[in-house]
Amino acid sequence: MTRPNHPTASSSLNRSVQGRPLPTRRLWLLSVPVLALGAWAVGPRRAQAQMPASLLEESDPGAQGLAYRADAAKVDPAKNPSYQAGRTCANCSLYAGEPGQPQGGCALFYGKEVAAAGWCNAWERKAG
């Protein structure tokens, strides 16, 4: 006489109440490296976001291409005819620094800060 297919005790332990399989040790062991890799991938981005931006050097190739000077008073008007006294990074529309701070971000030099007292050929009048 054959026995009808009845769930055994061991197979019923592998199923939850809703009919879905319970997490197994194999599933857990496979997910640990994935989670660790995800944590590792996010870690450097946090550290990078907290690093302060460095000050743009006049010797930087991008700065040289725009005739950037950290001190606008040292700009040679003969070499830069668009320069006018009083124009600085602090009153340029591309400058993203806070008022009164010695340096701040610039839309042209990503990841670098420019001197508020500086100047370059891309200077544009700030609105307002």
53-128 falls under which CATH superfamily? High potential iron-sulphur protein (4.10.490.10)
Predicted local distance difference test score (pLDDT) of residue 29: 75
Q: How many CB atoms lie within 10 A of CB 124?
A: 12
Predicted local distance difference test score (pLDDT) of residue 118: 97
Predicted local distance difference test score (pLDDT) of residue 91: 94
Predicted local distance difference test score (pLDDT) of residue 106: 93
Average pLDDT of each block of 10 consecutive residues along the chain (128 residues)?
57 57 75 74 59 87 95 94 94 93 93 95 90
Predicted local distance difference test score (pLDDT) of residue 34: 76
- How far apart, in whole angstroms, are the C-alpha atoms of residue 54 and residue 114? 9
Predicted local distance difference test score (pLDDT) of residue 87: 95
Please give the angle made by the CA atoms of 63, 73 and 103, to the nearest 5 degrees. Answer: 55
- How far apart, in whole angstroms, are the C-alpha atoms of residue 52 and residue 49? 8
- How far apart, in whole angstroms, are the C-alpha atoms of residue 32 and residue 23? 13
Please give the angle made by the CA atoms of 30, 47 and 108, to the nearest 5 degrees. Answer: 125
